Amino acid sequence: MTAIFVFCLLSVLLVIGKVLRTMIPLLQRFYLPSSVIGGFVGLIILRSFPGLIPAEVAGTVSKLPGFMINVVFATLFLGVVTPPLRQVAQVAFPQLCFGQILAWGQYVLGFAVVGFLLMPLFGVNEGFGNLLEICFQGGHGTVSGMAESFTSFGWEDGIALGYTMATAGMLLAVILGIVLINWAARRGYIQNIRRFSEQDTMQQRGIYSRDTRPAAGVQTVYCDSIDSLAWHIALVGIAILAGYGMLQGLRELEAYLSPDSTVWLMKGFPLFPFCMIGGLLLQKLAQRVRVHSLIDHGQMQRLSGAALDFLVVSAMASIKVEVVMENWQAMLVLIILGTLLSLFMVIVVARHLFRESWFECAIAEFGQSLGVTATGLLLLRAADPESKTKATQAFGYKQLLHEPIMGGGLWTALALTLLYKLGWQTMLIISTVALLVWITAAVIFARRKK
């Protein structure tokens, strides 16, 4: 009965979120997702009426995001036939430099500010230094996926702080992103802007009109053999199983090679990056045996989107407010400095790096640097709704190289473990070196551009 109650509760919250977004113009203007709105409603209900929802239900809600993120990452490469690496690199290199500088810059900023300021001043956990990249680039999903890591290193409060920072980053990305787009339009940097006032009522409410509704994927198998949706869900399950097998294998190998170790590298390593690798390997296998046409990326995107909506609404509803209130000063400092870094990159650096459509390319990275990939795409669609520039292609290609590493990729998952193993000073040095490498690459590219 607990599983039924949790599913029904989250479904009600998502519907409430959609209804509120449809009815309140302010929520529409800021493009707030229904999952975030519904999550806020759930948080208010759970905090205001603690006896209304049974304790076991609330506990299950808080654990659900950790499972859903595995679905999101398992679908990333399923159904995607990647172009040649040379073509990807040529189109996406400046975009990749920009994204990597932002990601590594968040690590350098986080470790430096936490190590030199926040730890002596507020006595915060040194894991605070990872929160900028985890929460802003990775978002609610990455925080959920790393819940086991936070817990294994004795910092369970990092989960609540992570959800809060991820929410703040998403809100700041949308609000400041819209401000930047209007600023760029007034300056003449973009011409294809889609202003909120120019959208019809249905678009503002986030509802497709009957004659513009796109397909939600393509059925690749006959339903008399297996339902197409069931087929794609099963493939996601296989990708997750492959990821789980890889992680467990590495943990067993590490335990065998160093049985007396007190700090194991893979002990707190999350599952979701291996689910991404499992999905990629399954896609490559399908291409090798020439059955990849049976995997439709459109259906995978819908599965990923559904999992992400349920993930966000459950994550928002289970935030521990008391933990946030205890650490609000330190968290506010990180949020402000991280936001200023992203603004600096867009306003100052972007025009010197990109050959053309510099603002469109930069606004997508701004959205991702504060509020995950989906927010970056949202802002890019607002600045270039008909994809008349190369920004959409460049951003998409860049994700193929960026996503497996940062923003919830392998380094994001590994960095927290390395922090507690090596210390924040060593991680600051590593991040600074990586940042300088990408800055050097960007400078060389910018000079060749001129």
Distance CA 114, CA 133 (A): 13
CA angle at residue 166 from 417 to 325, to 5 degrees?
Answer: 90
What is the secondary structure of 104-116 as a DSSP string?
HHHHHHHHHHIII
Dihedral angle over CA of 400, 253, 416, 322, nearest 10 = 110
H-helix segments, 221-327: 228-257, 272-288, 297-317, 321-326
Q: What is the mean pLDDT of residues 133-160?
A: 88
**Mean pLDDT within 238-267:** 81
Task: Give the pTM.
Answer: 0.84
Q: Choose among 225, 151, 164: nearest CA to 40.
A: 164
Using only C-alpha atoms, the chain has a radius of gyration, in whole angstroms, of 22
pLDDT at 194: 67
Query: pLDDT-based confidence at 268, cuts 50/70/90?
Result: low
What's residue 285's pLDDT? 95
Mark residue 285 as left, alpha or beta (left: phi above 0; alpha: psi -120 to 50; beta: remaining): alpha
Domain ranges of the chain: 69-195+225-449
Tell me the pLDDT of the chain averaged across its residues.
87
- Distances in Å between the Cα of 171 and the Cα atoms of 162, 302, 367, 368, 397 are 14, 23, 10, 12, 26
pLDDT band at 162 (very low <50, low <70, confident <90, very high): very high
- pLDDT, one tens digit per residue, over 410-440 is 898 889 889 988 999 999 999 999 999 999 9
- Spatial separation of the C-alpha atoms in residues 167 and 64, rounded to whole Å: 17
Report percent pLDDT > 90 for the chain: 42
Instruction: For residue range 327-368, list pLDDT tens digits in order.
Output: 999 999 999 999 999 999 999 999 988 878 899 999 999 998
Rounded to 10 degrees, the C-alpha dihedral 138/127/39/54 comes to 130
CA distances to 20, 40, 169, 425, 445 from 15, in Å: 9, 13, 24, 46, 48
